[in-house]
Structure formats: structure tokens, C-alpha cells
Amino acid sequence: MSILVDKKTRLLVQGITGREGFFHATQMMEYGTQIVAGVTPGKGGEWVLDGKIPVFDTVVGAAETTGANCSVIFVPARFAADAILEAADGGIPLIVCITEGVPVQDMMQARSHITQHGSRLIGPNCPGVLTPGASKVGIIPGNIAIPGSIGVVSRSGTLTYEVLYALQRKELGVSTCVGIGGDPINGTSFLDVLAMFEDDPHTDQVVLIGEIGGTDEERAAEFIADHMTKPVAAFVAGMTAPADKRMGHAGAIVEGGSGLAADKIAALKSAGVRVAEHPDLIPEVVA
């Protein structure tokens, strides 16, 4: 089965008439995701995707008309925080923001706002959520994973794809893959997703993909040691990263001796996590 998204997910796409939004909406619909609406201010009343999907001016109008319960955001960075706020105000319980480069101050305000409204945000700067065989919300390629019982949570988009494909090659299936994004301020943490997988009866074990910067992996290690009963495997990128350089995501930077990959790996191992030296070795560690 899954966490977060499944065949019952009714998705609206904010920014559906833009190039990225239209392209990925097409991919999601072809995968089988139940897209029910698009939102682009000023283009309400239009229809897209071969006339199958109505476009609304507002999230409130789209949600009230179609019963959407999830939104994915493909809008420019300067508008992304407002799109998140609009989705929360529109009563959308799950919001997935793909947009990269959202200002930190904007995200601080947006995160506070959505918490008060009871919505969950995945991202920003993330690849989204994939439940193989059921629903794809975001940009994770649907053909690199098969249904199964391994939960995957990751800060890195590209490494997510590599690990999913490595698991698929060994015929190891995935319950749900959640890309939480690597920005300093995001809506959902490793801890949140680990707790969901721990409670999910259809997930038997978990793969965590981390990277340098911040202390998220260390906090995840503490949670795993104290609360997880299911086995966890991990890979942490950045062992050879130079100090004081941002590597990939905005949050992937080592400063003042903190955020080192070696420290994260040590913390995970001390919590009983099996850590792979290379993403291609994750299937061996899992098996």
C-alpha cells in the first residue's frame, strides 16, 4: 500500500498551464494519477490535457468543485510561497512543492502558516511522492520503481532515482518514496516520514538517503534508535565534499565542522542503521 498518496488521491496542479507544470501533469496523468484540476490565475475556464482537465483561477474554486485533496506546485520561486499559502487556505491537506530557489524568509512564513491550518507540506525543492503502481505526485520517473514493501525517504532528488532504479533491478519493490527536499526550511522532515513508515503495516523496512549539511540525519538516527522497530538502511552523500562549499541543495553545506557526512554516518550506525558505501549497494544492504 502506501503513505501520503494512493489511487484515491485527487490531485490539482498549481501552474498547470506553464511549461513545467503542463509537461509533468501529462506524465502524472499517463502514470495513472487522478488529476482533477489545474490552477492558473487568469486562465480559469480553460481546459488542458486534451480537454480532460479544467483550469480554475483559485485553489478554493478548484477544491470546492472537484474535491481535490492534494496539490502539486509548479510555479516560479517568487510565487511559490504564495501558492503554498493559497493551497493551505483552500483546505488542501497535502501540498507538494517542486519549485527550487524559494527564499528562506518566504518559507519561514509559509511553514508557520500551513502548520496553523493543519496541512502537510512536502518540499520545496523536492521531487515529490511516488507510490508505485498507484499514484505519482511530482517529477519522480514512474518507470524506475515497482510496488513492494520498502519505504524510501530522501533529501536528494537524483540519488532518489538512483536508489529506486537499483532496487528495481534487484526486483525489490517500494511502498512509497518521499522526496523531502534539501532546503534549510522545508515542510516535512526525516522524522515525520520515518514515523509514517513505522506506522504503515505495508512497509517492512526503510531506506534513508541523506547528504551533508545540517543535522537532520543525526536527529533521524536518534528517532530510529528510540522509536523504530523496522530495519533501516541508509546512504549519506558527501564524504569527499570540500568544506564550506554548497553541494547540490541549498541546505547541503558544511560549515564550522558541522554537517559532515562522516558524523552523520557514525550517528546512523550507532542507531543500528546499515549504511551503504555507494547507492548501488543499497539493494545488497537491504537484502
Average pLDDT on 175-202 reads 96
Share of the chain above pLDDT 90, in %: 87
Angstrom CA distances, 230 to 84, 172, 276, stand at 33, 17, 17
Q: Per DSSP, what are the bridge partners of residue 209?
A: 154, 235
| pLDDT at residue 115, as a whole number | 87
Q: Taking 60 as the threshold, does the pLDDT of residue 47 lie above it?
A: yes
What letter represents residue 51's amino acid? G
- From CA 186, how far away is CA 182, in angstroms rounded? 8
| pLDDT at residue 162, as a whole number | 96
The backbone torsions φ and ψ at residue 229, rounded to the nearest 5 degrees and listed phi first, read: -105, -15
| pLDDT at residue 256, as a whole number | 45
Q: Is 227 annotated as catalytic?
A: no
Average pLDDT on 52-58 reads 98
- Which distant-in-sequence residues (6+ apart) come within 8 Å of 18 by Cβ? 40, 74, 75
Average pLDDT on 28-34 reads 98
For the ranges 100-109, 180-189, 254-263, the lowest mean pLDDT is seen at 254-263
Average pLDDT on 96-117 reads 94
Superfamily of the domain at 10-122 = NAD(P)-binding Rossmann-like Domain (3.40.50.720)
Q: Which of 113, 117, 202, 249 is catalytic?
A: 249
Q: Which CATH class is domain 140-286?
A: alpha beta
Share of the chain above pLDDT 70, in %: 93
Q: Going by DSSP bridges, is the β-strand pair 10-14/70-73 parallel, antiparallel, or unpaired?
A: parallel
Q: Taking 90 as the threshold, does the pLDDT of residue 255 lie above it?
A: no
Comparing 10-122 with 140-286, is the CATH topology the same? yes
* pTM metric for this prediction: 0.93
Question: Percentages helix, strand, coil for the chain, rounded to the nearest 5?
Answer: 35, 25, 40
For the ranges 52-61, 62-71, 113-122, 217-226, the lowest mean pLDDT is seen at 113-122
**Within 10 A of 259 (CB to CB), how many other CB atoms are there?**
23
Query: Where residue 240 falls among pLDDT bands split at 50, 70, 90?
Result: low
Give the domain ranges of the chain: 10-122, 140-286
Average pLDDT on 103-127 reads 94
What rounded mean pLDDT belongs to the chain? 93
Orientation angle between helical segments 190-199 and 216-227, nearest 10 degrees: 30
| pLDDT at residue 258, as a whole number | 54
